[in-house]
Amino acid sequence: MVSLFLKRRGNGLKAPGWAYGLGLLCVKLAALALLIAAGPARADSMLKILALGDSLTAGYGLSESESYPVKLQAALRAKGIEAQVINGGVSGDTSAGGLARLDWALADDPDIVIVELGANDGLRGLDPAKTQENLDAVLKRLTEEKRAVLLTGMLAPPNMGSDYGDDFKSIYPALAVKYGVRLYPFFLEGVAADPQLNQADGIHPTGAGVDIIVSRLLPEVMAVIDSLKQSAAGG
């Protein structure tokens, strides 16, 4: 309908003043729409990491700023990696509990999931076969949804006996091989059984203990991030 907005002057066509104003307004509105659309896209491009776990992830007995997800996010950003680490820890959770709330935990659509589950299974002496079944279901869903995974292992308390301990310990490497995910063998490596790094209960790390966990876990997380970037580039 160009003819409605133009009038002939001499041998050429020229828009009247009001048409120029209308055109300028349309340009401004279009630019504003592009800016609004671009905002969420930039926000969504930030790497999202879900820390799925129990009280060791939730930060039991610590301030929020001392929890491992918060400290891991800070450590990643210090390395120049813009990532949001979501605290998906629930104190007292077992592997069954983690599986049951997986829909809720994945609501933020994370790119990477750090799975830290099983400590309470071991403390309660639950059947290792059942723990493995639950974790298998968690990893099956995560890998089917093409989410990168870092699986962190756990050890059973010594008082459960060597047979139970061996069966429990074997869960994590078996699942890591089955699903082709990266394994960090023991989440509490360098912290467990050290009174200076644990709270009075002897189970949950202090802030200093969390620092050690994060420092040891950081290279593993960065390796998963690198692998994810390589897959994206290749795909």
Catalytic residues: 55, 201, 204
Q: Is 70 helix (H, G, I), strand (E, B) or coil?
A: helix
In the DSSP assignment, the letter for residue 94 is -
Q: Does residue 8 contact residue 1 with C-beta atoms inside 8 Å? A: no
**Which residues neighbour 125 within 8 Å (Cβ) at sequence distance 6 or greater?**
160, 164
191 — alpha (psi -120 to 50), left (phi > 0) or beta?
A: alpha
CA distance linking residue 83 with residue 70, whole number of Å:
11
Q: Does residue 145 contact residue 112 with C-beta atoms inside 8 Å? A: no
Quick one: which of 71, 90, 101 has its CA closest to 208? Answer: 71
Quick one: which of 112, 61, 65 has its CA closest to 91? Answer: 61
Q: What are phi and psi of 230, to 5 degrees?
A: -65, -40
C-beta atoms surrounding 108 within 10 Å: 12
Q: Is 12 helix (H, G, I), strand (E, B) or coil?
A: strand
CA distance linking residue 82 with residue 75, whole number of Å:
10
